[in-house]
Structure 1
Amino acid sequence: MEFTLLENGTDSLKKAKVSIEQFEALHRQHSYHQLKDAIIFLNHGIEILLKYILSSRNESLIFKDIKVYIKAKEQLKHMSPKEKGFGIHLERNMPTIFDVPERDLGNKKLETISLREALNRVEFLCDIEVTQEFKNSIFLINDYRNNLTHHSIKLSSLDEERLIKVLKTLYDNVLDFFEQHIPGLMREIDNERFEVTSAEWEEIQREMQEYYYERSMSDLSEDDY
């Protein structure tokens, strides 16, 4: 069984939508894990599909260090197929660059890029337009995801409602964006949209702009010391 970047990405988007719907349908006390799952799955789906776009152009674009990637490709040519059952060599048992030992890469890791770097490469290496509003939405969800994964977050009831609006709007915008650059994507995903009014979306945009302005000023203050 093989799962491709496209399948993994679309699967995560589907799970994100289900989690958003479950969070709204269930009593808050019993549905907080659904909000967490929605953040994690949406972030993951976006990251994987951005990498799919890059990989479709050239697989090397999804790796941090192109030199390590090239070294792995060189070593891969000398690796034998992995034997699975009865010593038979099958196409699906062929090694990949991730099977190349670190010792053959100068003890360096073959690592893929982050979501933010994937977004930058899609915009500047693939010449795909990415609006600042779209990037801000993705960065906000990515920040929530990182806090959930590495620390914790505390939300008021008002924060929860705002976050749900951001998740819904970003989900819809993500479908539109990827459908433009991955033809047929909508056939793989439930294309029923969430309903967010223009006024709600404008309010979300203002809040995100304020958030990133305050964050940038905080970064500048830290640099002063």
Structure 2
Amino acid sequence: MKKTVLAAIGAFMLLGASSSTSSASKERRYVINVSGAVLHKQPSFKSATVRTIPVGSAVEIQETLASTVTQPISAGFGLPGRWMKVTTPSSAGYIFSADLTAIRPVIEKGIDGLRHINLLGAKKGTREEHPKTGELRTITEYANSTYVYTSFDSCFDHDYTFRKLALHEVYHQMINSYSGYDGQKLVQPTLISRKGNVYTFTCGFGSSDAAQELKLTVNKNGSIVISSYDCT
């Protein structure tokens, strides 16, 4: 196996706008978009860009607009959220909430130099299971997720189940973990298809990597699963 995945994602269909009023809020948030969060002059995706705030950076929320809008990801697919008025030491403007989290992330650096966030949470313990099928299954519990690693016939399954994170947080966890560089260009997972609540993505590692499949499943009980497999 060339690369063990770190984590996991997805998005829902477009949501309609609600009230346009705003509510006061002074809270700290952290950027989880691996490409950085765009700070706009006005609360609109079409508004001019003030700057791009790097992944892992902290911002102070001054106000959250009540209107619910959707950040487009691909055709018929987007992340719902709200516009937040934020300040940084050098600037102010509006960031879309789907690029932010209230959880202070762990900042890591991949073998390809990519700086990314980790929202798995603190590790609680690991155990092994040996099903009669001959598989070896290792289960690791984290504060925010359960990771199941299964090896069989020189292939490996990776399944992360998230029960405490919102959809946009899981989505960006996946994007952070499955992105890579092609030369100087950042290559991110892109949506291939959707079947019910199962979303299939490309891997950003490139065709030379062992990773072969990447899926996001939104379960009825509210949990979200990121799964992939690779073979040597």
TM range (shorter): under 0.3
> How high is the TM-score relative to the length of structure 2?
0.25
> How high is the TM-score relative to the length of structure 1?
0.26
